[in-house]
Amino acid sequence: MDFQDFLKHKFAHIAIGEFKPGKFEAAKKLYEEAVLTYTTGFKGAYLLQEPGTDKGISVIFWESVEDMTANQSDAYQSILKKMMPLFAKPPETVVYELVCELKPIE
């Protein structure tokens, strides 16, 4: 790893949404399938659920915006089509640049 690597920032794709009543578990399975299609530049994914609701937040980390775009394969698009009818309304999505990352001291 050289100095230039420390100047690169990861990117996060954030989606905030609510599923139809009782559909969160089905959406979670599809989310896991979609994430398994990711390859180059994928740095991790988190799916958060507000306790007792069908509301959730997806956070997916990427090496670059280009990697994020390149990973939208036909398989991914097919899974997304299955997931969309589960939403109460389309999720809000945005891309953020990771500018500060703090980890616990071992």
User: pLDDT for 50-72, tens place per residue?
Assistant: 999 999 999 999 999 999 999 99
CA pair distance 19, 106, nearest whole angstrom? 38
Q: What angle do the packed helices 74-83 and 24-35 form, to 10 degrees?
A: 170
> Residue 55: inside a domain, yes or no?
yes
Please state, in angstroms and as integers, the Cα–Cα distance from residue 95 to each residue in 1, 49, 54, 98, following that order: 26, 20, 23, 10
| Total structural domains within the chain | 1
The model's pTM: 0.88
Is 80 exceeded by the pLDDT of residue 37? yes
> Residue 8: inside a domain, yes or no?
no
Q: What per-residue confidence (pLDDT) applies to 56?
A: 98
> Residue 3: inside a domain, yes or no?
no
Type of residue at 94: V
Domain that holds residue 39: 18-97
Please report, in angstroms and rounded to a whole number, the separation of the first and last CA atoms in the chain: 21
- List the CATH number of the domain containing 73: 3.30.70.100
